[in-house]
Amino acid sequence: MSRIGVFICHCGENIGRTVDCVRVAHNLENVPGVVHSIDYKYMCSDPGQALIKQAIRELQLDGVVVGACSPHMHEKTFRKAAAAAGLNPYLCEMANLREHCSWIHEDRERATDKAIGLARFMVEKIKYNRPLATIRIPVERRALVIGGGIAGIQAALDIADGGREVILVEKEPSIGGHMSQLSETFPTLDCSQCILTPRMVEVAQHPNIQLLAYSEVESVEGYIGNFQVKIRRKARSVDEIKCNGCGECQKNCPNQKIPGEFDRGLGMRTAIYVPFPQAVPNIPVIDRAKCAFYRGKAKGVKKAVCGKCAEVCGPKAIDFDQQDSFVTEEVGAIVVATGYQLYSIGKAQESETLRGYGEYGYGAIPDVIDGLQFERLASASGPTGGKILRPSDGKEPKTIVFLQCIGSRDRAKGIEYCSKICCMYVAKHAILYHHKVDHGRAIVFYLDIRAGGKGYDEFVRRAIEESHALYLRGRVSRLFRNGDTICVHGVDTLSGEPVAIDADMVVLATAMRAQPDIASLAQKLSISYDRHGFLNEAHPKLRPVETNTAGVYLAGACQSPRDIPDSVAMASAAAAKVLGLFSNELLEREPLIARVDQLACTGCFHCERVCPYGAIERKQLKDGKGRVIKIVAEVNQGVCQGCGTCQATCPSKSVELEGFTDEQVYAAVNAL
Partner 1 sequence: MASSFEPNIVAFVCNWCTYTGADLAGTSRISMAPNVRIIRLPCTGRIDTLFILKALERGADGIIVSGCHPADCHYTAGNYHARRRFAIFRDLMEFVGIDPHRVTFSWVSASEGGKWAEVVDRTTERVRRLGPFRTYPRLARGAGE
Partner 2 sequence: MRLGYFPGCSLHGTAREYEESLKAVAAALHIELEEIRDWACCGATSAHATSRTLGVALPARTLMQAEKQNLDRIFAPCAACYNRLASAQHALAHDATMASQIRSILDYSPKTSVSIINIAQLLSAQAGEIQKNSKAPLNGLKIACYYGCLLVRPPEVCKFDDPEAPNSLDHIVSATGAAPVAWDMALECCGGGFSLSRTASVVRLSRAILKSARSAGAHALAVACPMCHSNLDFRQQAINKRNRDGEAMPILFLSQLVGLSLGLDPIQLGLHRHFVSPQPLLDRIGMGKLQPERREQV
Partner 3 sequence: MQELRDLARRLLRENQVNVILGYECARRGVRPAFITEAADCDRLVFDHRCVHNLAAYLSPRRTHVRALGRPAVVIKACDARAVAGLIRESQIEREETVLIGVRCGGVVLDPADSSPLSSGNIAPRCSACDQREPALFDHLVGEPKGAPAGEASRDARLSEIEAMNPEERLGLWIGLLGRCTRCHACRQICPMCFCERCIADKTQPAWIETSPHSRGNFAWHLTRALHLAGRCVDCGECERACPARIPLGLLSRKAARSVASRYGYVVTDDPAIPTPIGSFQFDDGQEFIA
Q: Which residues bind partner 3 (CB under 8 A)?
A: 599-606, 609-610, 630-631, 649, 651-654, 662-663, 666-667
Q: Which ranges of 334-421 does DSSP label H, i.e. alpha helix?
A: 371-378
CB of 67 to partner 3, least distance (A): 25
User: Can you say whether residue 632 is alpha, beta or left, with left for phi > 0 and alpha for psi between -120 and 50 degrees?
Assistant: beta
- Which of residues 100, 230, 398, 619 is near partner 1 by CB under 8 A? 100
604 binds, among partner 2, partner 3, partner 1, none (CB under 5 to 8 A by kind): partner 3
Q: Cα separation of 581 and 519, whole Å?
A: 26
Q: How far apart are CA 331 and CA 141, in angstroms?
A: 7
| Phi, psi for residue 157 in degrees, rounded to 5 | -65, -45
- Minimal distance, residue 569 CB to partner 1, in Å: 24
User: 3-class DSSP state for residue 242?
Assistant: coil
Contacts of 117 (CB under 8 A, 6+ apart): 671
Is 523 a binding residue for partner 1 by CB under 8 A? The answer is: no
* Contact with partner 2 (CB under 8 A) among 222, 247, 267, 356: 356
Q: Which amino acid is at 417?
A: Y
Among candidates 409, 249, 442, 209, which has minimal Cα distance to 329?
A: 209
Binds 654: which of partner 3, partner 1, partner 2, none (CB < 5-8 Å by kind): partner 3
Looking at the Cβ atoms of 348 and 542, the one nearer to partner 2 is 348
Binding residues among 433-452 for partner 1 as defined by CB under 8 A: none
Span interacting with partner 2, options 299-307, 474-482, 574-582, 603-611, rule CB under 8 A: 474-482
Task: Report how far residue 194's alpha carbon sits from residue 597's, in angstroms, rounded to the nearest whole number.
Answer: 60
How far apart are alpha carbons 512 and 533 in whole angstroms? 11
How long, in residues, is the chain? Answer: 672
Which one of residues 58, 107, 221, 458 is an interface residue with partner 1 (CB under 8 A)?
A: 107
Is residue 128 near partner 1 by the rule CB under 8 A?
A: no
Distance in Å, CB of 536 to partner 1, minimum: 8
Among 612, 630, 652, 663, binds partner 1 (CB under 8 A): 612
User: For residue 216, how many other CB atoms are within 10 A of its CB?
Assistant: 17
Choose the one of partner 1, partner 2, partner 3, none that binds residue 651, judging by a C-beta under 5 to 8 angstroms depending on kind: partner 3
CA–CA dist 639, 199 (Å, integer):
34
Q: Which of 357, 374, 529, 553 binds partner 2 (CB under 8 A)?
A: 357
* Residue 358 binding partner 2, by CB under 8 A: yes
- Region of 97-105, 239-247, 355-363, 420-428 interacting with partner 1 (CB under 8 A): 97-105
Please tell me the distance from the alpha carbon of residue 42 to that of residue 477, in angstroms, as a whole number: 72
Q: Which is nearer to partner 1, 262 or 534 (CB)?
A: 534
Asked if residues 268 and 290 have their Cβ atoms less than 8 Å apart, the reply is no
For residue 347, the minimal CB distance to partner 2 (Å) is 5
SS3 of residue 459 by DSSP: helix
Q: Which residue, among 169, 159, 140, has the nearest Cα to 332 in the 3D structure? A: 140
φ, ψ of residue 65 to 5 degrees: the values are -115, 120
- Cβ of residue 469: shortest distance to partner 3, in angstroms? 42
E strands, 267-398, in order: 268-269, 272-273, 285-286, 325-331, 333-336, 340-342, 368-370
Burial class (CB in 10 A: 0-12, 13-18, 19+), 500: exposed
Residues 32-91 touching partner 1, rule: CB under 8 A, are: 70-72
CB nearer partner 2, residue 412 or residue 599: 412
- Beta carbon of residue 607, minimum distance to partner 3 (angstroms, whole number): 9
Of 324, 359, 393, 530, the residue at the interface with partner 2 (CB under 8 A) is 359
Instruction: Please choose which of partner 3, partner 1, partner 2, none residue 667 contacts, taking the beta carbon within 5 to 8 angstroms, the exact cut-off set by kind.
Output: partner 3
Q: Which does 356 bind (CB under 5 to 8 A by kind): partner 3, partner 2, partner 1, none?
A: partner 2
Identified binder of partner 1 from the candidate list 98, 232, 233, 413, rule CB under 8 A: 98
Kindly list the distances between the CA atom of residue 560 and the CA atoms of 97, 539, 564, 576, in Å, as whole numbers in the listed order. 44, 14, 12, 20
Instruction: Write the single-letter amino acid at 494.
Output: L
Size of the residue set binding partner 1 (CB under 8 A): 46
Which DSSP symbol is given to 11? T
* Distance of alpha carbon 213 from alpha carbon 201, whole angstroms: 13
C-beta closer to partner 2: residue 347 or 461: 347
Instruction: Choose between 330 and 484: whose C-beta lies nearer to partner 2.
Output: 484
CB of 618 to partner 3, least distance (A): 8
Under the binding rule (CB under 8 A), the answer on residue 206 touching partner 2 is: no
Judged by CB under 8 A, does residue 343 bind partner 2?
no
3 state DSSP class of 95: strand
State which of residues 364, 586, 600, 648 lies at the interface with partner 2 (CB under 8 A).
364
347 binds, among partner 1, partner 2, partner 3, none (CB under 5 to 8 A by kind): partner 2
> How many residues touch partner 2 (CB under 8 A)?
14
Which CB sits closer to partner 1, 229 or 668?
668
Beta bridge partners of 7: 38, 66
Among 173, 187, 361, 371, binds partner 2 (CB under 8 A): 361
CA 536 from chain center: how many Å? 7
Q: What does 481 bind: partner 2, partner 1, partner 3, none (CB cut-off 5 to 8 Å by kind)?
A: partner 2
Count of C-beta atoms within a 10 Å radius of residue 86: 10
For residue 99, what is the DSSP state? I
Cβ–Cβ under 8 Å, residues 598 and 621: yes
Q: Give the neighbor-by-neighbor strand order of the sheet with 485-492.
A: 476-482, 485-492, 497-503
Looking at the Cβ atoms of 42 and 605, the one nearer to partner 3 is 605
- At position 236, the amino acid (one-letter code) is R
Phi, psi of 266 (to 5 degrees): -85, -20
When the beta carbons of 457 and 662 are compared against partner 3, the nearer one is 662
- For residue 143, which of 99, 198, 193, 206 has the smallest C-alpha distance? 206
347 interacts with partner 2 by CB under 8 A: yes
Site for partner 2 in 366-425 (CB under 8 A): 412
468 binds, among partner 1, partner 3, partner 2, none (CB under 5 to 8 A by kind): none
480 makes contact with partner 2 (CB under 8 A): yes
Contacts of 60 (CB under 8 A, 6+ apart): 3
Binding residues for partner 1 (CB under 8 A)? 70-72, 96, 98-101, 103-107, 110-111, 113-114, 117-118, 121, 528, 538-539, 548, 592, 610, 612-613, 641-645, 647-649, 657, 659-660, 662, 665-666, 668-670, 672
Binding residues for partner 2 (CB under 8 A)? 347, 355-359, 361, 364, 412, 478-481, 483
